[in-house]
Chain A
Amino acid sequence: MSREESLIRSLVDMADTLVDDYDVIDLLTGLTDRCVTLLGASAAGVMLASAEGDLRLVASSSEAMRVLEVFELQAQEGPCLDAYRTGRRVEHENLRSGTGRWPRFSAVALQAGFQSVFALPLRLRETTVGALNLFHVGQAPMDERDVVVAQAFADLASISILQHRATTEAQRLNEQLSVALTSRVVIEQAKGVISERAGVDLAEAFARLRAYARNHNLLLTDVAQAAVDGTVDRSVWTGNAALG
């Protein structure tokens, strides 16, 4: 495959994740791998913000990269943190041990064999979800065309992550809705069961169901299910004495 074909293939693969059920870690690990294989970065890593806003390491192209990013998080200084905090690109910077913007981080990065870094925010409009770190063993800056591609990768990943979060939230709410409706159904069925067994009306049946749940410190839905399944002694519904 030519470079152009590879790039197009990558963009299509990443866009696919927008519609398919997919794993965020897989997507981001793929992103770091592509930065190495297609864009000539020596190593790449992605951090994502948690719900509380602190960054977590989620994907790295190599073990050396992983160690370095863990250090960046511990030291709370480095290009990924800056890109995330500002929501802007952190331009190519040659590292010098003990000085510059990130003195402690630079020392560790140089030790790991990296000479220069550069970082992009994972961002969609006003929302920054994380950042992409690119490390180089040399000092030459990345070709601007590669930077554009890296940003395109980062943008696609951002859209994908935000989409995934919205979908997950919708799914959670829909399940909640379904559970609420289903447990109400079981309660209504139980009212019918008790009403028929005890020869009382539905309001009285519900009162007995609720009293039993309260007196036995059980959830109303669980008692209703047991009444429907017939796993509660049936005689409890027929007399008030048994409710205690």
Chain B
Amino acid sequence: MAGDRLRRILAELAGVGGSARLCEVSTSVIGVSGAGIMIMSGDVPHGSLCSTNEVSALIEDLQYTLGEGPCVDAYRADQVVLEPDLADPVVPRWLAFTPPAVAAGARAVFGFPLRLGVARLGAINLYRDRPGPLDNDQHADALVMADVAARWVLDVQAGAPEGALASSLADGADFHYVVHNAAGMVSVQLGVSVTEALIRLRAHAFSSGRPLGDVARDVVDRTLRLG
């Protein structure tokens, strides 16, 4: 029953603050290999609130760099996205995302939208190191977990000063600030807008097969100049 699920999840979360706990609880309650929560608005990922291990961090990072993947789709379509066999999907999708995700050990990925009423916040992503669908209980747990996470994020943000991000949301999160620093620098270097500079950075990351964050770090450290 959904009521029992909610109680179980809230009991696990009780007394421990921080978004990192949200991802840990998602992993243990749902019974998957790892979880991550991506915050989005408009049509763009802002970054990752939490991730449980290197693989889920990579899954978040790839989606941020490439703008495709289960979370991005779950958020945009506002519906659950299930890929029980990432290495051998029925219908291939996420052509850039899939090879590095599989190479890292993700064999099944699932995206559940984070929303409350009509407010859409992002998505929670779950991965497993072997292929196979979520069973009914896991699916139901994931839906409840997504609901709990959405409420948690907005509750925490409700306590923040106007215009600022709640500090509990910032702690442990990766909103890729260095990427925006680099975009600012590249825009001056190339004489283009920051939007275009960001596209150039993404293109460079994609073509060199590196995470966007690493490329941006090099730009900021002045060991890389684009153009």
Residues of A within 8 A of B (CB): 21, 163, 166-168, 170-171, 173-174, 176-185, 188-197, 202, 221, 228
Contacts and interface: CB of A to CB of B under 8 A. Distances in A.
Given A189-B181, A192-B181, A193-B187, A184 B154 contact: no
Contact of B175 (A21, A163, A184): A184
A181 B46 contact: yes
Given A180-B165, A181-B175, A170 B184 contact: no
Contacts of B42: 178
Contacts of A21: 118
Interface stretch (B4-12, B133-141, B155-163): B155-163
A171 B115 CA distance: 10
B130 interface: no
B122 to A, nearest CB: 10
Interface of B: 39, 41-42, 46, 116-121, 153-154, 157-158, 160, 162-165, 169, 175, 177-178, 180-189, 194, 220
Contact of A176 (B120, B160, B180, B184): B160
B188 A193 contact: yes
Contacts of B181: 188-189, 191-192, 195, 202
A184 B42 CA distance: 15
B165 to A, nearest CB: 4
Given A180-B160, A189-B180, 9 more contacts: A163-B117, A167-B116, A170-B117, A170-B154, A171-B119, A180-B165, A183-B163, A188-B177, A190-B184
B160 A184 contact: no
Contacts of A221: 163
Nearest to B165: A180
Given A189-B184, A202-B220, A174 B154 contact: yes
Contacts of B194: 189, 193, 228
B46 A196 contact: no
Contacts of B184: 188-196, 228
A170 B180 contact: no
A166 B117 contact: yes
B188 A188 contact: no
Among B120, B165, B184, the most chain A Cβ lie within 10 Å of the Cβ of B184
B157 A177 contact: yes
B119 A170 contact: yes
Contacts of B178: 188
B118 A188 contact: no
Contact of A177 (B41, B118, B188): B41
Given A181-B46, A184-B165, A188-B177, A174 B120 contact: yes
B185 A196 contact: yes
B180 A185 contact: yes
Contacts of B180: 185, 188-189, 192
A167 B115 CA distance: 10
